[in-house]
Amino acid sequence: MDSVDLEVLKSSVRWLAEGHRTLLVTVVRTWGSSPRPEGAMLAVRDDGLVVGSVSGGCIEDDIIDRVRREGIASGRPEAVKYGISAEEAHRFGLPCGGTIELVTEPLSADSHLDELLEAVENGKLVARTLDMASGRATLGPAQATDGLAFDGNTLLTIHGPRYRMLVIGAGQLSKYLCQIAVGLGFQVTVCDPREEYTETWDIPGVTMVRTMPDDTVTEMQLDERSAVIAVTHDPKLDDLALMEALRTRAFYVGALGSRRNNQARRERLKEFDLNDMQLARLHGPVGIYIGSRTPPEIAISILAEVVAAKNHVSLPDILQVEGAKAAREMAASEGSTCSPAP
């Protein structure tokens, strides 16, 4: 679940507890280009205060204006469309004439948002079914592969961590890596059996385990919505995790280290009976090339590559660390052998 949408749930529950009327707005369909995906949410308080986003600002302004002029009446949810005509697309700033359909839902005790928020904060994946005729919502378990569904009568939305990330190592880099990953909506677990690192761990929202990395990978039963990143620089820890992770369906498996170290790592992993196809899945050196030097910059580099893999974006070699550095070295070599122009 997007951290922005989690903030929408938190604010909505708080506003209702404070006695405010609150309108929850959910993107249910898009046609053409749209800044926000299906399932994105916005909450508007009765005084116009807003959190979240459904369009990037243009449609939000119209919704806020309506709430300020008309208030939020107790009533049934409604489906509304923006950008049907070229004129409306221009007015609301929808790119390329896109169209967006929203469900606007006046919240009440029947919305059960407090129960939903509690479940999500406990790491559960929850399906919320909204009956458009009555405005009542029911909650139930969901699968990671479930998605939003809207047929005009009921709206099914999925809430909670859709993707998991296992980080091997609890060092300084891991702290930045985990903070950003949580913000990206990952359910993050850090594995490090070394007490000297885990005793000082202080990142909220992250599960810390002290088991051996290979056991952790096995216990987590990683699937196609899982990522594994090894950052300890200790082969005894990193290799154990990678050995098992490369045999799973995890969409991303990466390891920190230089090009030389990663080549040596691949040679070591061959001794664990990993085949060429499995080894080819290993991202290493991990991350995209942005000239990163500090732990926060390296964390951004790594997570940029993870997000690209999650979104099924194939990065060219020149953007990856190994390809970019090789290209730089080749360019520098060619420059040093060139004679000055006459």
Token duo for residue 331: 């360019």
Could you report the per-residue pLDDT of 253-306, keeping only the tens digit for each? Answer: 999 988 888 889 999 998 888 888 999 999 988 999 888 889 999 999 999 999
Residue 89 clears pLDDT 70, i.e. is over it: no
> What is the percent of the chain where pLDDT is above 70?
90
Q: Are residues 99 and 152 in the same domain?
A: yes
Describe the strand order of the beta sheet including 78-82 as a list of residue ranges.
50-52, 41-45, 22-31, 99-106, 78-82
Contacts of 100 (CB under 8 A, 6+ apart): 27, 29, 30, 31, 34, 54, 55, 59, 81, 82, 83, 94
Confidence check: pLDDT of 337 > 70: no
Q: Are residues 223 and 109 in the same domain?
A: no
Is 72 within the bounds of a domain?
yes
Q: What is the mean pLDDT of the chain?
A: 87
Element (H, E) at 110: none
pLDDT in tens, 170-210: 999 999 999 999 888 898 999 999 988 888 888 888 999 99
- Structure confidence at residue 57 as a pLDDT band (50, 70, 90): low
pLDDT at position 5 is 83
CA distances from 221 to 125, 218, 226, 236, 281 (A): 16, 6, 9, 21, 18
Measured in Å, how far apart are the chain's first and last C-alpha atoms?
A: 61
d(CA 105, CA 24): 5
Lowest mean pLDDT: which of 54-63, 272-281, 318-327?
Answer: 318-327
In the prediction, which pLDDT does 339 show?
A: 44
Three-class secondary structure of residue 212 per DSSP: coil
Would you say residue 43 has pLDDT above 70? yes
Predicted confidence (pLDDT) at residue 138 exceeds the cutoff of 90: yes
Does residue 135 sit in the same domain as residue 59? yes
Least confident of 49-53, 91-95, 298-302: 91-95
Same domain, 66 and 179: no
Taking residue 253's Cβ as centre, other Cβ atoms within 10 Å add up to 27
Whether 236 and 314 map to the same domain: the answer is yes
Query: Residue 47: pLDDT band by 50, 70, 90 thresholds?
Result: very high
In contact, 59 and 92? CB cutoff 8 Å: yes
Task: Clarify whether residues 171 and 126 are in a common domain.
Answer: no
- Is 335 within the bounds of a domain? no
Output the domain CATH number for residue 229.
3.40.50.720
Runs of H (alpha helix) within 271-320 = 276-279, 295-310
317 in the same domain as 175? yes
Q: What is the pLDDT of residue 340?
A: 45
- Return the residue matching tokens 């942005």: 290
Question: Picking from 130-144, 251-265, 277-291, 309-323, which range would have the lowest pLDDT averaged per residue?
Answer: 309-323
Query: What radius of gyration do the chain's Cα atoms show?
Result: 24
> Is the same domain home to 79 and 170?
no
Confidence of residue 44 (pLDDT cuts 50, 70, 90): very high
Longest dimension (CA), the chain: 83
pLDDT at site 249: 93
Mean pLDDT computed over 128-153: 93
The pTM assigned to this predicted structure is 0.69
Domain residue limits at 274: 163-325
Instruction: Kindly list the distances between the CA atom of residue 37 and the CA atoms of 45, 228, 327, in Å, as whole numbers in the listed order.
Output: 22, 26, 36
Q: Are residues 268 and 138 in the same domain?
A: no
**What pLDDT, on the 0 to 100 scale, is given for residue 342?**
38
Cβ–Cβ under 8 Å, residues 209 and 249: no
